[in-house]
Amino acid sequence: MKSLETKRMILRALSLDDLEEFNRYAKKPHIGPMAGWAPHTSIEESRAILNMMIKENEVWGITIKPAKKIVGTIGLHVRNFDNAMLNQKEVGYVIDDVYWGQGYMVEAVNAVLNYAFNELELTKVLCGHAKNNLQSKRVIEKCGFIPTGTDVRDHFDGTKIDIQMYEMTYTHYKELNQ
């Protein structure tokens, strides 16, 4: 997969060499639950998820220059039949809490949007956050996504959770970036 470079970061393909770094933040109690997944309880669990992301082939490891180690991931996902039929994908992301609040994820999302519209030629990129995840809400707002409605999804603890959904259409992206 193609690496994407921003001012401060390189988004690159993941490999099993990233396992230790991935597990380091994936086991923290307050990171995964914000994105709907349970904190990892073993290195083997992290290995299985990392393998899945490698196979998906559209999940990048986030590195901060000049370091080579990953501090998070960002990916484009086909979540449902409509996504597949309408040439749309959903962006999802996570970054280790050590790096929160420095605008890294806005920079990463913008690089992925550029790739999604200019190289993949998607018609729309979707994004969503649990209604209490105000940090992700701010990332989505700062990137210029438009709110569309509420989706109800499964939370890792077996409950249902309300997700505020947003979209960025190809046309809106071009308007913001002309």
Ligand X SMILES: CC(C)(COP(=O)(O)OP(=O)(O)OC[C@H]1O[C@@H](n2cnc3c(N)ncnc32)[C@H](O)[C@@H]1OP(=O)(O)O)[C@@H](O)C(=O)NCCC(=O)NCCS
Q: Which residues bind ligand X (CB under 6 A)?
A: 31, 34-35, 93-95, 100-106, 129, 133, 135-136, 138-139
Amino acid at position 121, single letter: E
Q: Work out how close the CB of 48 gets to ligand X at its nearest, in angstroms, rounded to a whole number.
A: 19
Q: Work out how close the CB of 88 gets to ligand X at its nearest, in angstroms, rounded to a whole number.
A: 17
Nearer to ligand X, 93 or 145 (CB): 93
Q: What residue number has its CB nearest to ligand X?
A: 101
Nearer to ligand X, 1 or 34 (CB): 34
| C-beta separation of 32 from 22 below 8 A | no
- The DSSP code for 3 is -
Q: How many CB atoms lie within 10 A of CB 9?
A: 23
Q: Work out how close the CB of 96 gets to ligand X at its nearest, in angstroms, rounded to a whole number.
A: 7
Q: Work out how close the CB of 92 gets to ligand X at its nearest, in angstroms, rounded to a whole number.
A: 6
Rounded to 5 degrees, φ, ψ at 32 are: -55, -50
What is the per-residue burial (b if ≥16 Cβ within 10 Å, else e) of 88-125? Answer: bbbbbbbbbeeeeeeebbbbbbbbbbebbbeeeebebb
Q: Work out how close the CB of 51 gets to ligand X at its nearest, in angstroms, rounded to a whole number.
A: 20
Nearer to ligand X, 29 or 178 (CB): 29
The dihedral of CA 134, 131, 26, 58: what is its sign? negative
Nearer to ligand X, 122 or 127 (CB): 127
Nearer to ligand X, 43 or 106 (CB): 106
